[in-house]
Amino acid sequence: MRAVKSRDTTPEMRVRALLRRFAPGYRLHRADLPGKPDIVYAGRKLAIFVHGCFWHGHDCARGAREPVHNADYWRAKIAKNRARDAVHAERLTAMGWRVCIVWECELKDAATLEARLRAVVNGGGQN
């Protein structure tokens, strides 16, 4: 676990590169917000989390993979991660923030992800 980075991961860097094209001016890892969002647009009250599919239990092929070794530990850990993510999203929403979650698997289709991010940053679209 020590080798797993919590910031500046490859998926996060790719999302930031997309955002720089049309919406620069974000801040990174605001510790004063619940969950320490990966990318924050304070003026727009938008918090963006970039989640790895396996680590956060996404329902895609990679996220639904069953761990081979120490399966009980990993199932419990991923369940705790999902519960923690939900609490952070609720707390941010209660504070008046919009929350957007970008899944690692979404990076495969950069054009679709860019369109989604443009919509979210501009105040519309699905989070």
- Going along the chain from its start, the domains and CATH numbers come out as 10-121 (3.40.960.10)
Please work out, in degrees rounded to the nearest 5, the angle formed at the alpha carbon of residue 124 by the alpha carbons of 48 and 9: 20
pLDDT, the chain, mean: 92
Phi first, then psi, for residue 49 (nearest 5°) are: -110, 135
In degrees, rounded to 5, the angle at the alpha carbon of residue 25 between the alpha carbons of residues 22 and 27 is 125
Return the pLDDT at 35.
96
CA atoms within 13 A on the CB side of 69: 0
pLDDT tens-digit map of 55-108: 999 999 888 888 889 999 999 999 999 999 999 999 999 999 999 999 999 999
Tokens standing for residue 57: 């239990």
